[in-house]
Amino acid sequence: MPAKGYVEISVEGCKGCGLCVINCPTDCLALKTSETNSYGLHYAYMTDEDNCIACQNCAVICPDAAITVYKKAS
């Protein structure tokens, strides 16, 4: 069974580059194109908490260190 995780993405820290979205292996992330943060930028958010496998790919690729990753304690 794959690990279970979830991520927190800082709305203000995110610049909406989308690199986390395209690098998520389980498609749990998306850009919120209907809203912007105070810098006027779209930001990424978690769409599907159930499928996050805590791989940290999103956090590793995020240039702005806007992502924090948690993993379900086994």
Smallest Cα–Cα separation from 61: which of 11, 33, 12, 25? Answer: 25
Site for other proteins, rule CB under 8 A = 5-6, 12-13, 15-19, 22-23, 41, 54-73
Return the number of the residue (34 or 43) whose C-beta is nearest other proteins.
43
Coil vs helix vs strand at 50: helix
Query: Is the separation of the CB atoms in 38 and 12 below 8 Å?
Result: yes
The nearest distance, CB 47 to other proteins, in angstroms, is: 17
Write down the least CB distance from residue 38 to other proteins, Å: 11
d(CA 61, CA 45): 15
CB of 10 to other proteins, least distance (A): 9
